[in-house]
């Protein structure tokens, strides 16, 4: 059974294998009032998604076990997560942006990214 979240306290799953970036981004989002759950790889992310419904997923592309593109693809194939907005972060070239948008990502940002840019993207996606 999925645990629902409320719009008053949106729940975000943040997925990245870079511990420093994960910690900094989590703090930024928590400061803005979001409930943030983290995962350090795609397998862990998919396990958490099976048990909890998130309002937004932010996922890195390059990760061990299951990469971010596979996480995105699986989310968009499942009925209960198909409409969940996904923001993709990547350290790879911008050419991947078109691919992730075709798969169903709401936005794609190249690392390093500006905190305010991510904050605005999160606000926009949660407002939909």
96 lies in some domain = yes
Per-residue model confidence (pLDDT) at position 7: 54
Q: What is the mean pLDDT of each run of 10 residues along the chain (128 residues)?
A: 56 97 96 96 96 96 92 96 95 77 92 93 94
Give me the domain span that covers residue 30.
Answer: 11-71+86-113
Number of domains in the chain: 1
121 lies in some domain = no
81 lies in some domain = no
Q: Is the pTM of this model over 0.85?
A: yes
Per-residue model confidence (pLDDT) at position 13: 98
Per-residue model confidence (pLDDT) at position 117: 95
Distances in Å between the Cα of 104 and the Cα atoms of 2, 19, 83, 100 are 22, 26, 9, 6
Q: What is the pLDDT of residues 36-66, one digit of tens each?
A: 999 999 999 999 999 999 999 999 999 988 9
CATH number of residue 28's parent domain:
3.40.50.2300
């Amino acid at each position: 059974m999925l645990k629902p979240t409320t719009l008053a306290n949106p729940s975000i799953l943040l997925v990245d294998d870079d511990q420093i970036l994960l910690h900094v981004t989590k703090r930024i989002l928590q400061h803005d009032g979001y409930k943030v759950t983290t995962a350090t790889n795609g397998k862990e992310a998919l396990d958490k998604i099976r048990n909890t419904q998130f309002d937004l997923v932010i996922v890195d592309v390059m990760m061990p076990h299951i990469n971010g593109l596979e996480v995105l693809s699986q989310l968009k194939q499942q009925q209960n997560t198909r409409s969940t907005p996904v923001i993709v972060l990547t350290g790879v070239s911008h050419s991947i942006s078109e691919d992730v948008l075709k798969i169903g990502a709401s936005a794609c940002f190249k690392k390093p990214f500006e905190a305010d840019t991510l904050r605005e993207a999160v606000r926009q996606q949660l407002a939909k």
